[in-house]
């Protein structure tokens, strides 16, 4: 019975789906008008480092580690010359510290050797940098440069996009492709930040706060709590 009621709410035509998406985007603007990247940074290089550190780690923890880290290693050159063992100790609390230290040092050397010390401005170039897979590259390009290279798909975006029926996929690359087709390009950066904030604030994994969510009337997820 529950499934049939949920199915009845789904928009049936392309026009209905477009209208629903426009309503979702408008509500996100109202709910999160100033949404931006939660990682504290100064410039593209610091954002790249912070984003590498954020893998399997909270932004809050990263923001506790990076001020001291950037005081100790103030330039890309300092990171490039760093001892991997020492850097790993410096970022110990972020988890996966050996892999992250290796990636950060590799990224610094790659950017110095191949890009004149400047973090690249294209997705094609940036994804050649160690530690900068597509999600990380989208974060850096969007937040640091204002370049809409794609939609950031982290765990929050994966979860919320599926609950809102903006994708049926579980693979991040396929989810991003669906979102890039559905969302206007001039919304990609803002949408990513808004959905990440929404996933943290209300649309949580285990117990979404549907009763407090203004998107609830437009949402027919099977695990709604209200």
Integer Rg of the chain from CA:
19
CA distance linking residue 164 with residue 29, whole number of Å: 16
* b/e code 101-119 from CB counts within 10 Å (16+ = b): bebbbbbbbbbbeebeeeb
**2 classed as catalytic:** no
Question: What does the block give as tokens for 63?
Answer: 């923001």
One of 9, 154, 207, 209 is an active-site residue; which one? 154
CA distance linking residue 188 with residue 184, whole number of Å: 7
211, 213, 214, 219 alpha-carbon torsion, rounded to 10°:
-90
One of 9, 135, 178, 223 is an active-site residue; which one? 135
**135 classed as catalytic:** yes
CA distance linking residue 56 with residue 167, whole number of Å: 23
Residues 6+ apart with CB under 8 A from 212: 202
Is 94:58 a contact under the CB 8 Å cutoff? no
Angle between helices 155-163 and 172-182 (to 10 degrees): 60
CA distance linking residue 91 with residue 220, whole number of Å: 41
Catalytically annotated residues: 135, 154
């Amino acid at each position: 019975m529950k499934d049939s009621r949920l199915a009845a709410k789904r928009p049936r035509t392309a026009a209905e789906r477009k209208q629903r998406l426009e309503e979702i985007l408008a509500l996100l603007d109202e709910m999160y008008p100033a949404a931006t990247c939660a990682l504290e940074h100064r410039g593209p290089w610091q954002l790249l480092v912070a984003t590498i550190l954020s893998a399997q780690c909270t932004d809050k923890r990263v923001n506790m580690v990076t001020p001291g880290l950037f005081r100790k290693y103030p330039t890309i050159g300092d990171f490039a010359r760093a001892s991997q063992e020492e850097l790993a100790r410096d970022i110990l609390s972020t988890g996966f510290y050996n892999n992250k230290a290796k990636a950060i040092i590799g990224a610094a050397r790659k950017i110095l050797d191949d890009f004149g010390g400047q973090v690249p401005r294209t997705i094609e170039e940036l994804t050649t940098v160690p530690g900068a897979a597509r999600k990380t590259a989208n974060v850096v390009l969007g937040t640091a440069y204002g370049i809409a290279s794609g939609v950031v798909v982290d765990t929050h975006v994966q979860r919320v996009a599926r609950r809102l029926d903006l994708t049926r996929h579980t693979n991040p690359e396929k989810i991003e492709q669906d979102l890039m087709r559905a969302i206007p390009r001039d919304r990609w950066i803002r949408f990513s930040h808004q959905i990440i904030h929404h996933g943290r604030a209300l649309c949580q994994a285990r117990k979404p706060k549907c009763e407090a969510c203004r998107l609830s009337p437009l949402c027919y997820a099977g695990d709604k709590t209200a």
